[in-house]
Amino acid sequence: MVANYLYTVLIVAVDESVTSATRISSLYSFVSTVWSPIFAIIVAYVRRLKYFIVFGVSLWFLSTGLLYHFRGGDGAGPGIIGGLCVWGIGGTMFSYPITVSMQSATSHENLAIVAAFSYTMYRIGSAVGNSVSGAVWTQLLPDRLARNLGNVTLAAEVYANPYKFAANYDWATPERQATVEAYTHIQRLETVIALCFCTLLIVCSLFLRDPRLTNKVAHDGEIEEGQLIVKEDHDPVVEFVRTKIFRKEPRPKRVPCSSEIEEEDPIVEFIRTKIFKKAPRPRHTQEPALSADSIHDQGIDSNTEKKI
């Protein structure tokens, strides 16, 4: 919701050109696209998502704080650029990983339901944010312009066509400075509301489960029917709440099985050996089962076979 009217703010309240405002407005998508493949390689090596999600939401909070500080006026352009770059990195580490995290903790039969629920909640949240942002802009900006300019007619013209007003009034004129103050005031309210939403995101992200990403498909056969979360994962935040607040006994840590420890993955092995210069891990092989012929060849009679 902070960037809903960013292009207009850049033209009117920061005195950027049309070309510059267009490029700055696209920085979020550009940075997110550049960072995505790098982040994907890191996730393929780490195989965990929770702390990336928490860090990504925290970066959202930081970028919103930067946009709050650099919301308009002289010298706000570089600060807005920095805030959008941080926002792009944080968005990459939060928006899509949260869906993957939900899908990794459910069974195959519930995968479509969980994905649909995730995207539905995302759209509902976007609609709420856009509604709040639009209400603040449309309900408060006209009155603020009229009070600052002292001319209701001019205020209506500025609100209806801010780009024409920015072209006709230079940056140093009193009318332009009064308009800049009105726009920065409204942008301040927008960012404060966004900071409140980001605070809720950070709190909720702390209670996410952190299942390990494996090569298995949707944890087939590992969780019960209808179960949507992995209950065997050890999470320090959840354990802190259970033991310190609810006064429950700490749960024993889950010991990973051999398939999880020695799981082979070509991408992970490439990163370990080529980038981090580590020795390749030994391949995990299972001993073949003895056939009937091999048992007979080893001199095991049929009675021994039955006992086995």
pLDDT in tens, 85-133: 999 999 999 888 988 888 887 777 788 888 888 889 889 988 999 999 9
The pLDDT, as a whole number, for residue 73 is 86
Per residue in 158-177, pLDDT tens? Answer: 999 999 999 999 999 999 99
| Segment 189-194 long-range contacts (CB within 8 Å, at least 24 positions apart) | 189/136, 189/140, 190/1, 190/2, 190/4, 190/5, 190/133, 190/136, 190/137, 191/2, 191/64, 191/65, 191/67, 191/68, 191/71, 192/68, 193/1, 193/132, 193/133, 193/136, 194/1, 194/2, 194/64, 194/129
| CA distances, 101 to each of 13, 18, 104, 124 (Å) | 40, 40, 5, 19
How much is the pTM?
0.72
- Give the model's pLDDT for residue 228: 45
In the chain, the domains with their CATH numbers are: 6-205 (1.20.1250), 234-308 (no CATH)
Q: What was the pLDDT predicted at 260?
A: 46
**What pLDDT, on the 0 to 100 scale, is given for residue 38?**
93
Q: Which residues of the chain have pLDDT under 50?
A: 226-229, 231, 258-263, 286-292, 294-298, 300-308
